[in-house]
Chains A and B, each alone.
Chain A
Amino acid sequence: MVYDLIVIGAGPAGITASIYAVRKGLRILVVTKDIGGQAAISGDVENYTGYQFISGPELAAKFEEHLHKFNINLQESEAVVSINKAQDGLFGVKTERDNYISKTIIIASGKRSRELKVPGEKEFRNKGLTYCATCDGPLFRGKIVSIIGGGNSALDAALQLINIAQHVYIINNTSNLGGDVVMRQKVVSAKNVTILNNAQVSAILGDKLVNGIRIKKDNKEEDVAVEGVFVEIGLIPNSEFAGLVEKNELGEIKIDSYNRTNIHGVFAAGDVTDVLEKQIIIAAGEGSKAALSAFRYLAEKE
């Protein structure tokens, strides 16, 4: 079976692209590791038009419900290994389990959490160290925790944890917290928060579970007793499988304003691309643009 379009990823960009493509009458397949992408693990969302306030998981559930409204071929929990050019101007998508053939591809595989790369990180993953405050935060009720990072995702984690944990340390490696002013003010004014600026984490400590972090600040090392470590130091694009297309120095897929990559017939959308801002609403909009571009490409070919 030759599909008109294969969408890789089912976050806001992939889901929106799929909905647009199906409504245009394209035969599509969606291949994805998970549903909802980073939106599903976001905290509170207050800037998605139409929803004054919605949680990330709830918004992702709405996206998914919308996707399932259409009869879309969906391969979930399936990671793409590579994409390649096949015969007759078609493309191959190779996954862990299968090979698929399509006339066009939209890459919407998003980003994932960047790792700290310090001793103890791997050993204590899910043993007190986590990359998802929304998922695992509630397990740290009444405990002393630390958040590593100083941008919006760190602030988002902090806003969730100040209501759960006994005390929250924020370990920020620059001289001031970044992120949105509104979020920052809420975090800074919380009574149970200590912000350590110009500080780096050099190791995660523990026995069976995490019991501390080693911090380097002003050329001195110090151990802080914490039971939770939330790593929020930014994101890296899930673009390793996309060797076929051109990327920037961050590994983001380069696109033009039509969401075209350098390979005709291969489009990309959302956080995996070099689009200027990474926002849920932008990813969704980019997904719709990519689908319309793919539709136009197919129409012109036939």
Chain B
Amino acid sequence: MAKSVKVYSTSTCPYCIRAKQFLAENNIQFENIDVSADHAKAQEMIKKSGQMGVPVLDIDGEIIIGFDKERMKQALGI
């Protein structure tokens, strides 16, 4: 079954762009959440990750802070 993947990001952050590119290249569906436009979601991201840096990925509940390809691969099982 496909994993639920959320990407908390801003449109200007280069590592967010790279993280989303990486998911797209691997044909992984994800929900992109622009935290600069959605204050409530920004708070949700801060609560989940305990910090304010983007990107934050939520892969089936596993929280990954920053663009960490190796951890993403592990969490996604690819």
Answer yes or no: are A and B bound together in one complex.
yes
Partner among A76, A137, A141 whose Cβ is within 8 Å of the Cβ of B12: A137
Chain B residue, CB-CB nearest to A126: B53
- Shortest Cβ gap from A131 to chain B (Å): 10
Encode B9-44 as 1/0 by CB contact (under 8 A) with A.
011111111100000000000000001100100100
List of A residues within 8 angstroms of B12 by Cβ: 55, 57, 134-135, 137-138
Encode A11-32 as 1/0 by CB contact (under 8 A) with B.
0000000000000000000000
**A224 interface residue, CB < 8 Å from B?**
no
List of B residues within 8 angstroms of A36 by Cβ: 14
Most B-side CB within 10 Å, residue of A55, A132, A135? A135
A61-B21 Cα distance, complex, nearest whole Å: 11
List of A residues within 8 angstroms of B53 by Cβ: 126, 130, 135-136
**Are A77 and B36 within 8 A (Cβ)?**
no
**B63 interface residue, CB < 8 Å from A?**
no
**Are B13 and A135 within 8 A (Cβ)?**
yes
Q: What is the number of residues of chain A that contact chain B, defined by CB distance less than 8 Å?
A: 27
List of B residues within 8 angstroms of A208 by Cβ: 50
**Which residues 23-78 in B have Cβ within 8 Å of A in the complex?**
35-36, 39, 42, 46, 50-54, 65, 69-70
**A77-B13 contact in complex given A135-B54, A209-B46, C-beta closer than 8 Å:** no
Encode A125-145 as 1/0 by CB contact (under 8 A) with B.
011101010111111010000
Partner among A55, A60, A76 whose Cβ is within 8 Å of the Cβ of B69: A76
**A128-B52 contact in complex given A57-B14, A134-B12, A141-B39, C-beta closer than 8 Å:** yes
What residues of chain A have their CB less than 8 Å away from a CB belonging to chain B? 34-36, 40-41, 55-57, 60-61, 76-77, 126-128, 130, 132, 134-139, 141, 164, 208-209
Task: For the A-B complex with A60-B14, A61-B17, A130-B52 known, give 19 more contacts whose Cβ atoms are closer than 8 Å.
Answer: A36-B14, A77-B69, A126-B53, A126-B65, A127-B50, A134-B12, A134-B13, A135-B14, A135-B16, A135-B53, A136-B52, A136-B53, A137-B12, A138-B35, A139-B36, A139-B52, A164-B36, A208-B50, A209-B46
